[in-house]
A = this chain, B = another copy of it.
Amino acid sequence: MAKIGFIGTGIMGLPMAKNLQSAGHHLYFSRLHKAVPEELIGKQGTVLDTPREVSKATDFIITMVPDTHHVEDVLFSETGVATGLSRGKTVIDMSSISPTATKAFAERINIMECDYLDAPVSGGEVGAKSAALTIMVGGPEDAFKQALPLFEVMGKNITRVGENGDGQTCKVANQIIVALNIEAVSEALVFASKAGANPHKVREALMGGFAASKILEVHGQRMLDRTFDPGFRIGLHQKDLNLALATGREINAPLPNTATAQELFTSCAAHGLKDSDHSAMVQALESMADHPLIPNQTP
C-alpha cells in the first residue's frame, strides 16, 4: 500500500480520495488551504499543516484543485509540495489546467529528480463517486506504469496520451468537442422544433445515422426532458473553454466555433444558468429563436 498525499478534497477530490482509502491506501492531507472533510480523517487519513509536510511524508502527491494558479500555488509556494520533495517521488496533477503551464511545472519538478504526471479526468462527480472516471495522462511511461494502480482505483478508461502536457491538451480537446456537440444538438433540435417537427422523433431518427453521438443520446434527452440539474455545470465548462481559447491564442490555433459556444454559455450565465447542467445551452438557442423546444415550456 502506498503513502499518498492528496491536496484538494472538494466535489471531485473527496470521492476520489475515498476510493483510494477504500483500496487500502493511507492518505495525507494539508490543512493549509482548506479544511479537510471529517470523513477522510482517521485510520487511513492524516492531516498535516502544509503541502510541504505532505510531500515529505509520501511517495505520490496528487493535486486536484480548481485552476492553473491553484496548482502553481500548491506546488511552488514557500511551503509548497516542491519544497518537500526528494529524489524518486511523483507529483500527479489531476486538476484540469493549462497544457503550456503544465509543461513548465513538469520541468521544475523534473529538475528535483522527481516525476510529474498530468492526469486530468472527465466524468464529473458521478464518475468520481463510482470510480468510473476517464483519465488522460501525460508523462513518462515508467511513472505512468507505477501510478496506474492508483488510477485504476479512481477511473476506468485510462490512457497515456503522451509526454507532459499532453494529458491536459487531451482534456481541453475533450471539452471543445463536448461543448460543440451540445451546441450542434441545440441548433438542430430548436431548428427542427420551430420548423414544426417533434424533436423527440427527430432525435430518435438521428440516433441511427452519422449524427449519432454520446451527447445526442444523453444531453439531447436532457434537453427534451428539461432536466438541467448538473451533471456538469455551465460555470465549469466556461472555465474549460476559457482554457481552450487562452491556449489557442498562445499557440495560434483559431477555434471559431468554440468562441461562439463560449459566448452562448455566457448568455446562459446572464440568464442565471451558471449552475445548470451544460445541456442548458439549448436555452440560449431557444431564446435567440424565441421558441421553446417543447410547447408550453418557456425558453
Contact = CB atoms under 8 A, between A and B. Distances in A.
Contacts of A209: 122-123, 134, 157, 174, 214
A214 B212 contact: yes
A180 B253 contact: no
A197 to B, nearest CB: 4
Interface string A86-103: 000000000000011000
Nearest to A247: B195
A197 B257 contact: no
Interface stretch (A38-46, A51-59, A286-294): A286-294
Residue of A161, A189, A201, A206 ringed by the most chain B CB atoms within 10 A? A206
Given A161-B205, A289-B252, A173 B191 contact: yes
A258 interface: yes
Contacts of A290: 252
- Which size bracket describes the interface of A in this complex? 35 or more
Grouping DSSP codes into helix (H, G, I), strand (E, B) and loop, the A interface class, with mixed when no group exceeds half, is helix
Contact of A184 (B100, B136, B214, B257): B257
10 contacts: A100-B195, A122-B209, A138-B197, A163-B196, A169-B192, A170-B201, A177-B188, A177-B211, A180-B257, A187-B257
Interface of A: 99-100, 122-123, 134, 136, 138, 157, 159, 161-163, 165-166, 169-170, 172-174, 176-178, 180-181, 183-185, 187-192, 194-198, 201-202, 204-206, 208-216, 218, 244, 247-248, 251-258, 260-261, 264, 285, 288-291
